[in-house]
Amino acid sequence: MQSRKFRVPQRKTQRRWRVPPALKRGDEVFEGLGLLDEVTGEKGLLLWQSLRDALLWAEAPEGDRASLFAADAERVRMAMLMAAAPAADLEEPLAALARMVGEPNDTSEEMVSLACRRVAQWADEQGLLTTALSFAQAAATVTPGDASAAFAVGQLARRRAEHARAETWFRRAIALARQIGDWPTYSKSFLGLGRLYMQRGKLPVARKFLIRSIRAAQRNSLHTLEGMGLHGLFGVAVESERPEEAQELARAAFEAHAPGSPELSRLAQDVAYWWITQGSFARSLPVLRSTLRHLTLPSDQLTIYGNIARASGGIGDRDGFREAWDACHDLLAEAAVDDRAAQTLLDLAHGAASLGLWDKAETAARQALETGSRRHEAKIRFSAEALIDSVRHHRSAETAKRVVKPAVEEAGEMLAENFVRSLNGVPA
């Protein structure tokens, strides 16, 4: 079948650009306080001191850097490093920051920025989002003209639900990327803004930014980013309850992604979750199980197992539900997955309610309500409150499979088969 290219409307007016400032502080009393809450002991102190020194060095005039640190600062820092005994992937960038305090005039901005970004990456992999955000922002402060560094700050701030800070960094990244012709970062930053406004529930604004992301990607043959933008528009269509448009956008995004890519796996998971909300539980399960070996981060695994639990409950599969329930609680206990916890707990509650496991359902729904309230996730909070009310009356909140046009149903079945084939390495 011939592929149908998804077209977005083209912009007809020119825009004047300037690089806006960005928010650098949230609600913390002083810089790095959240880091000390996340990482305690000698390692936490070492990270905090390294962060403070990198920011001090970055913000000082170049001619004043030689007088910033004491003569024995590098020796003291290396002693702290040896005492904390961090893992190898953290030790190397922290050692580079220790050398910075010993040779402040002979250290390049690129080296300091890279060291901060590597610490941020380590922290992100450990689920330490506050620490990751602090060091990503330090990297962007060291190299203020780096669009990709500004984008990284926006991403982490969005994941921490710091919406105001995230928006300012995305807008800064857009302006910087435009100035230097960094079109991948330009497209990704509009995508970040689109996702941010989706989180806020402002769908028309989200759609506008996503279209601009896709437009930039199509102009510069950035097919992966085009697919990610179409994926975002799919989410807007779902939230706007336009199933036919959502189905078409899911197909277009599938065709834009490379087989077996992480982006395709995330699209497959999101489309499968949409099918769950439509009552197509059986269709979603093989797609979700096919994504497990591709998305191995604890946060991704948590989301997938939560979806599997909900779908298994929907078809009455108690064994499948129990296995997914246990996998979720293992991940919640062992990994820092706070940004995914509320939605996963809500999915577990739905699955339990579908099976008539009322105590489990109420416990999970209350945990989802508590987590969602703490993170200011209004949609999850309202959904959890409604589910708790249903569970108290021993009613499942899941609906029967919705009636859709035969053509849409057939297209959904075909797309599910294509997802599974592609994720399993078979040409779709």
Q: What is the pLDDT of residues 225-275, one digit of tens each?
A: 999 999 999 999 999 999 999 999 999 999 999 887 899 999 999 999 999
* Domain-located, residue 155: yes
Give the model's pLDDT for residue 1: 40
Q: Are 127 and 220 in a shared domain?
A: no
Domain extent at residue 89:
23-143
Please say if the pLDDT value at position 342 is more than 70: yes
- The alpha carbon of 71 is separated from its chain's Cα centroid by a whole number of angstroms, namely 42
Residues 129 and 218 in one domain: no
Q: Are 97 and 52 part of one and the same domain?
A: yes
Q: What is the average pLDDT score of the chain?
A: 91
> Residue 211's domain is classified under what CATH number?
1.25.40.10
Report the C-alpha gap between 69 and 47 in whole angstroms. 17
- Are 216 and 164 members of one domain? yes
Is 132 in the same domain as 162? no
Of 79, 112, 143, the one marking the end of a domain is: 143
Same domain? For 121 and 186 the reply is no
User: Is pLDDT above 90 for 126?
Assistant: no
Residues 137 and 149 in one domain: no
Last residue of a domain, one of 256, 280, 312: 256
Among 232, 256, 280, the domain-final residue is 256
Nearest to 84 by CA among 37, 46, 50: 46
pLDDT above 80 for 63: yes
Same domain as 72, residue 167: no
Q: Is residue 230 part of a domain?
A: yes
Residue 295, in any domain of the structure:
no
Burial class (CB in 10 A: 0-12, 13-18, 19+), 267: buried
Angle between helices 298-314 and 318-334 (to 10 degrees): 160
Nearest to 384 by CA among 406, 352, 362: 362
Tell me what the mean pLDDT of segment 291-316 comes to.
95
pLDDT at 27 over 90: no
Could you tell me if residue 94 is inside a domain? yes
139 shares its domain with 149: no
- Whether residue 160 is found in the same domain as residue 203: yes
pLDDT at 420 over 90: yes
Domain count of the fold of the chain: 2
CA atoms of 199 and 177, how far apart (whole Å): 24
375 located within any domain: no
Residues 33 and 123 in one domain: yes
Residue 129 has pLDDT above 80, yes or no: yes
223 is a domain residue: yes
Do 149 and 94 fall into the same domain? no
Average pLDDT over residues 327-354: 92
Q: What is the pLDDT of residue 9?
A: 61
